[in-house]
Structure 1
Amino acid sequence: MRTRHHLFVLYLLFLASRANGATPYEGTSRTTARPSIRADPECKVFPGDTTWPSESEWARLNESIDGVLLKPKPAGSACYPGPDFDQTRCQFLVSGTSSTRFWLDDPLTELAQWTQGSSCVATLTPAGNCTRGGFPEYVVNATSAKHVQGAVNFAREKNIRLVIKNTGHDFGGRSVGAGSLSVWTHWLKRTEFIPSYQIGEYSGMAVRIGSGVEAWEVSNLMAANNISVVAAGCNTVGGTGGWLSTGGHSTVTSTFGLGADQALSLEVVTADGNLVTADPFTNTDLFWAMRGGGGATYGILISAVMKAYPPISISSSSLSLTVSNTGTVRDVETFWQGVAAYYRFAADVLDAGGYGFSYIYPMENNTYRFTTSSSFPGMASTVAHNFMQPLYDTLTRVGISISNPTIGTARPYGSPRGGTGDRPVNTRYRSRLLPRENWEDDDLFNQTMKAIRKAVEGGFENDFYFHGTLTSPTEEVAGWPGSNSAVIPAWRKNRMHAMLMDVQPDGLTAQQAIDRNNLMQGYMSLLRDVSPGAGSYMNEGDPGEPNWQQAFYGANYERLLEIKRKWDPTGVFWAPTTVGSEAWEVQAVDGYPNSQNGRLCRVAG
């Protein structure tokens, strides 16, 4: 309930805004009418434009949101000549942050440097000057829905590009943008265990998780309450936010479904600045879209009520194959037979509710290394050991004599964890969701393995490697209401989420970056050719993905576009490859493909 003091403050803000011919940027109520639609200018306003907000307007916004508006400098500025140069701090950024929270708790940093133009990289050998590049101009350090509402209202009324950043685990440029106002949801850390929750067909335990809560914090919530909650595998990925909005896979996906399948109710700030609830019976179209239909485009997720399950433990078995003169694999052909044996066997792992996590690295002298782990939620270690034995029998038959390893005691899925150790990299994800048909047809499986091999061979000269996560989030395991969501249909038929991890060299010119992008698209086409009509996972996908509407959303795209236009008619929310984003483009000043370092403008025509 609003107090008299609060209403008085609102009144003062209203009078002040009337005096300046503007609107106060306080959070609005659930019943506030949607803003009138006006003719939109060609571009979002940009620093230096006559219509860019004055310092007094930014100050007024800051006052209305409890002083949480930031104008941070890029951390890397400590490494460059100028007033911010600090050799000691630069040395810390380069070599002392790997086991700290520094980069995760930085309001600007996205963990992929290239997306904002690599304009101010922390390095001991800087070239040129540090520029802001694609980093936002201002950041709202949101700790409440009110702060998010204030940012949305200001950006809408002032026609400023708005971006949304959570933990920084974004490899597609959705959390940065030149000349933007960023809503930083990192500190929306509310967690709550709900012993009994009922809505529609669901009756059971649940949790409420703020959008800034990370996977390690979700795990601690599990441990404290002796429950299981589907959470990202990487400790510092957000527990809801973009992870949930675009699908969200994890170790227990084949058992319980995707992150999007867990949501029972969402708390969302929409483009009109209202705070709304979306669930199976309220704002049902928004609820459908925000579970798998992409983040940063329909609204800003404040919190989610998610399913909780009884505690579960996980047994894991690992396998490593390396081609060498003295190892268990002496030649390349035998190596690839061993890799194919594991990937074929992985179908049985998935059907048992399990999960696979693998890498293939090209190494010196045209050799390879393959590493993988298989995880079995709810399976005792001895049962998991016996389950894996047929794989080792097959490996022996192809000439790889390796023992089925003993599996230790199953570990609790929800166990106390910490969340440190992430830093910016120059990796670019490119991915494909390979369907179960590719496993059920011998010819198609062999073609799939040939495509993977040929792509990995390209990594020898071009410094990239292969990453395959194997999981099966079918509609059956998704349950209610998860099976009725905007998750790309390709996830429901998935066997392998196949990725080429492109480690881009530092210092690429724009033309070199374009040439490298064309090269990588050629290798990705090998995987697309063996999976026509499948798709890609946007959270670990390529913002330069050809025909991205189909690749990231499949048959859901047209319906999602209608929902986008309904809830955001004036284009407040924009991010690359999100629904409706084709109406706008970034006029990148650096020429790098998919860079967010430039003005955001409407596409002509």
Structure 2
Amino acid sequence: MHRRDLLKAALTLPLLPWALSPTVARAWEAGPAVAGLRSRVRPGDAGWPTSTQWNQLKDAVGGRLQALHSPFEACSAQNAACQEALAQIKNPYYLGDQPALTQTSGWADAWTSHPSAYAVAAETTQDVVAAVNFARRHHLRLVVKGGGHSYQGTSAAPDSLLIWTRHMNAVSLHDAFVPQGGEGREAPVPAVSVQSGAMWIDAYNAVTTRGGRYVQGGGCTTVGVAGLVQSGGFGSFSKNFGSASGNLLEAEVVTADGKVRVVNQHQDPELFWGIKGGGGGSLGVVTRLTLRTHDLPDTFGAVFGAIKADSDEAYRALLAFTMRFYRDALFNPHWGEQIQFRGNNIVKLSMVFQGLSQQQAEQVWTPYLAAVRARHDWHIQDDVKVLALPARHFWDADFFRAHFPDAIVPDRREGAPREHMVWAGDEGQVGQFIHGYRSGWLPQSLLDERQLDRLSNAMFDASRRWGFSLHFNKGLAGAPADAIARSRDTAMNPGAMDAFALMITGGESDPAFPGMPGAEPNLDKARKDKAAIDRCADALLGVAPGAGSYVSESDYFEGDWQASFWGANYPRLATAKRRYDPDGLFFVRHGVGSEGWSEDGFTRLRQNA
């Protein structure tokens, strides 16, 4: 039996009292009694709140309750909202400002972007408390949206109440932060507090561009801070600084009982541990996070280019050579991001580095480029460029406007903050309709000389099916010991600590929001693409049996998601869920405790409820 199958057998349905694991069954029975709620209510059901009750909620949140409708509803040339949406469809800042839209428009045979029925546009923690209490009292399906970047469609749901935290985006720096309850027990550290609606560009602008320090966050500037931390949180430089969740010091959380809890390693430590990589929206609504900040390196930089092989055999050799070069020269805290491998026999370099000068980075790559030039059947397809810049300017939109304008796409709407930009390479994801997606962590043992040819052969076989990339910053093997230790003390799958990279393969097409003119996705092509994507992933992961998957970047159809996303940590997460949300108010498909509910989160499946 494969390791993954063993984990699946051990962890499947851990919240159900008839699960095979006696330990998990006892943990379930030890919890408080479960209410008799069999299903949540929808519009038109007898229990759906009356207009008077909705108005009471509206009053409680200062008028910030709104009924949601997609701008593509009844779309026409005369509909100004629809025309604006069409004009801004590739602007992630616009999409994030629309509570009725999502950053991804859907996934073939999985989900389609449909707005919630109502949204509380929260501006304070008390707004969140009012929404949580209202949803609990009226048995509503509750959804939480900050950045809204969920590939899985978890930031919206038809017939639900949405807690939308976009306007809770304050960022404040601390020279010497001590978590509550840690006074006299912990040394103060520099930190940053970020409200849950902030995007990473907001945090980077405050911490790095203006503050001259570093906070570990996401690579995409429009990702929400809270969502990334709760899912684990990898960024371009995680190989040095660890995961975002590993750098969390404290959080403010509204739990299912409507209580506001300040959690850290001293107060509600199991809830604190659970939100560090346990997945967003399953244990409570995070309203504020405080993260450790670090000394800023002198430089950040990037290496871009592409190498092409003239034949399949030459490409097979190029893959083996590239992976040996990675192991010997790049498998260390200085390097992150990715190399892409394609069926046209191209290796595309998209690497970043920290703490090296441009000259030092160029010296690292000199042997690689010399070897490429020495072979008649390898060629430099796109010039390999090494660029370094002062680290303080890495997220400085004005600096890029002046020096590298083609590298960024700013939010061009009138009145948009000048710092709001997205990397040009990320623009293709905006509004995407996903055809298929897979990921898996590759253990560092595959870089051993006895295993490396096996790895490169599997990579070649995978590239014949579909393109894929290795994201080296999303595997923490090779990171400093303290960064690994902080990241290990999270709910994320422990396999990430021993992985040298996260393999990602996927495919998508243009935005296809329901009602959007001319946006019917080609489902036949999407299904063919998915089959090829699956063959690619299966070919590569054949050398990594039991490899876990990163919850934020994973297959919607993951069959053994408990083991894949959280591994041996899942029973502990399930216990935290049982303690802090015994009635299952917070539901996320393939989130902690979701086994007890139908796919849409409306009907309880567990017996004896």
Q: Could you state the TM-score of these two structures normalised by the residue count of structure 1?
A: 0.80
Unaligned runs of 5+ in 1: 1-33, 121-132, 324-328, 460-464, 587-597
Cα shift at 1:71: 0.9
Change (3 A) 1:164 1:453: farther
1:138 counterpart = 2:134: no
Which of 314, 338, 358 is the aligned partner of 1:381? Answer: 358
Which of 491, 496, 499 is the aligned partner of 1:494? Answer: 499
- Give the 3-state SS of the residue equivalent to 1:140 in structure 2: strand
Cα shift at 1:453: 3.2
1:246 — aligned with what? 231
- The size of the alignment, in residue pairs, is 528
Cα shift at 1:475: 7.3
What CA distance in whole angstroms lies between the structure 2 residues aligned with 1:547 and 1:408? Answer: 42
- Give the 3-state SS of the residue equivalent to 1:585 in structure 2: coil
- Give the 3-state SS of the residue equivalent to 1:286 in structure 2: helix
What CA distance in whole angstroms lies between the structure 1 residues aligned with 2:431 and 2:456? Answer: 32
Of 142-151 and 192-201, more deviation after overlay is shown by 192-201
Preserved contact between residue 242 and residue 486 of structure 2 (Cα < 8 Å) = no
What CA distance in whole angstroms lies between the structure 1 residues aligned with 2:193 and 2:254? Answer: 16
**Residues 28-177 of structure 1 correspond to what in structure 2 (within 5 A)?**
37-41=34-38, 43-79=39-75, 86=78, 89-99=81-91, 101-115=93-107, 134-177=114-157
Preserved contact between residue 354 and residue 375 of structure 1 (Cα < 8 Å) = yes
What CA distance in whole angstroms lies between the structure 2 residues aligned with 1:341 and 1:187? Answer: 49
Which of 549, 558, 568 is the aligned partner of 1:536? Answer: 549
Q: What do residues 256-291 of structure 1 show as CA deviations (whole Å, max 9, x unaligned)?
A: 101001111111111111110111111000111111
- Give the 3-state SS of the residue equivalent to 1:538 in structure 2: coil
Change (3 A) 1:213 1:89: closer
- Give the 3-state SS of the residue equivalent to 2:598 in structure 1: strand
Which of 446, 451, 454 is the aligned partner of 1:447? Answer: 454
Cα shift at 1:556: 0.3
Cα shift at 1:341: 2.8
What CA distance in whole angstroms lies between the structure 2 residues aligned with 1:106 and 1:76? Answer: 12
Cα shift at 1:299: 0.9
**Residues 458-537 of structure 1 correspond to what in structure 2 (within 5 A)?**
458-459=465-466, 465-471=467-473, 472-473=475-476, 474=479, 476-478=481-483, 481-503=486-508, 507=520, 517=530, 520-537=533-550
Cα shift at 1:37: 4.9
**Residues 312-331 of structure 1 correspond to what in structure 2 (within 5 A)?**
312-321=297-306, 323=308, 329-331=309-311
Preserved contact between residue 300 and residue 388 of structure 2 (Cα < 8 Å) = yes
1:274 counterpart = 2:282: no
What CA distance in whole angstroms lies between the structure 2 residues aligned with 1:532 and 1:437? Answer: 12
Cα shift at 1:451: 3.3
1:351 counterpart = 2:332: yes
Which of 395, 415, 438 is the aligned partner of 2:446? Answer: 438
Cα shift at 1:452: 3.3
1:601 counterpart = 2:603: yes
CA RMSD of aligned residues (A): 2.9
Which residue identity is paired with 1:39?
G
Work out the percentage of aligned pairs sharing the same amino acid: 24
**Residues 263-342 of structure 1 correspond to what in structure 2 (within 5 A)?**
263-321=248-306, 323=308, 329-342=309-322
Cα shift at 1:511: 8.7
Q: What do residues 460-485 of structure 1 show as CA deviations (whole Å, max 9, x unaligned)?
A: xxxxx423211243572426754422
What CA distance in whole angstroms lies between the structure 2 residues aligned with 1:152 and 1:396? Answer: 62
Cα shift at 1:319: 4.0
Preserved contact between residue 263 and residue 304 of structure 1 (Cα < 8 Å) = yes
What CA distance in whole angstroms lies between the structure 2 residues aligned with 1:569 and 1:458? Answer: 45
What CA distance in whole angstroms lies between the structure 1 residues aligned with 2:135 and 2:275? Answer: 21
Which residue identity is paired with 2:351?
S
Change (3 A) 1:398 1:285: farther
Preserved contact between residue 161 and residue 180 of structure 1 (Cα < 8 Å) = yes
- Give the 3-state SS of the residue equivalent to 1:169 in structure 2: coil
Q: What do residues 526-580 of structure 1 show as CA deviations (whole Å, max 9, x unaligned)?
A: 2332212221111111121121111100110111111111110000001111111
Preserved contact between residue 100 and residue 114 of structure 2 (Cα < 8 Å) = no
Which residue identity is paired with 1:171?
Y
What CA distance in whole angstroms lies between the structure 2 residues aligned with 1:420 and 1:156? Answer: 38
Cα shift at 1:172: 0.9
What CA distance in whole angstroms lies between the structure 2 residues aligned with 1:516 and 1:373? Answer: 24
What CA distance in whole angstroms lies between the structure 1 residues aligned with 2:550 and 2:111? Answer: 27
Change (3 A) 1:233 1:303: same
1:581 — aligned with what? 594
1:419 — aligned with what? 420
Change (3 A) 1:101 1:511: closer
Cα shift at 1:376: 2.0
Change (3 A) 1:529 1:294: same
1:226 counterpart = 2:212: yes
- Give the 3-state SS of the residue equivalent to 1:75 in structure 2: coil
Change (3 A) 1:541 1:56: same
Cα shift at 1:312: 1.8
Of 414-423 and 150-159, more deviation after overlay is shown by 414-423
Preserved contact between residue 317 and residue 407 of structure 1 (Cα < 8 Å) = yes
Preserved contact between residue 361 and residue 456 of structure 1 (Cα < 8 Å) = yes
Preserved contact between residue 254 and residue 284 of structure 2 (Cα < 8 Å) = yes
What CA distance in whole angstroms lies between the structure 1 residues aligned with 2:351 and 2:524? Answer: 41
Unaligned runs of 5+ in 2: 1-30, 398-418, 513-519
1:178 — aligned with what? 158
Preserved contact between residue 245 and residue 292 of structure 1 (Cα < 8 Å) = yes
Preserved contact between residue 115 and residue 176 of structure 1 (Cα < 8 Å) = no
Which residue identity is paired with 2:508?
V
Q: What do residues 62-102 of structure 1 show as CA deviations (whole Å, max 9, x unaligned)?
A: 1111111111211222536xxxx636654543344435732
What CA distance in whole angstroms lies between the structure 1 residues aligned with 2:357 and 2:529? Answer: 46
Change (3 A) 1:51 1:441: farther
What CA distance in whole angstroms lies between the structure 2 residues aligned with 1:54 and 1:542? Answer: 39
Q: What do residues 486-510 of structure 1 show as CA deviations (whole Å, max 9, x unaligned)?
A: 1211110121111112215864588
Which of 460, 464, 467 is the aligned partner of 1:457? Answer: 464
Change (3 A) 1:307 1:569: same
What CA distance in whole angstroms lies between the structure 2 residues aligned with 1:574 and 1:356? Answer: 32
Preserved contact between residue 432 and residue 509 of structure 2 (Cα < 8 Å) = no
What CA distance in whole angstroms lies between the structure 2 residues aligned with 1:162 and 1:437? Answer: 43
Change (3 A) 1:504 1:322: same
Which residue identity is paired with 1:225?
G
Of 425-434 and 342-351, more deviation after overlay is shown by 342-351
What CA distance in whole angstroms lies between the structure 2 residues aligned with 1:209 and 1:224? Answer: 15
Cα shift at 1:409: 4.2
Which residue identity is paired with 1:208?
S
Cα shift at 1:232: 0.9
Which residue identity is paired with 1:419?
H
- Give the 3-state SS of the residue equivalent to 2:602 in structure 1: strand
Preserved contact between residue 263 and residue 306 of structure 1 (Cα < 8 Å) = yes
What CA distance in whole angstroms lies between the structure 2 residues aligned with 1:604 and 1:480? Answer: 37
Cα shift at 1:378: 1.3
- Give the 3-state SS of the residue equivalent to 2:94 in structure 1: coil
Which residue identity is paired with 1:55?
S
Change (3 A) 1:452 1:139: farther
Q: What do residues 129-181 of structure 1 show as CA deviations (whole Å, max 9, x unaligned)?
A: xxxx7421111111111111111111111111111111111101211212111
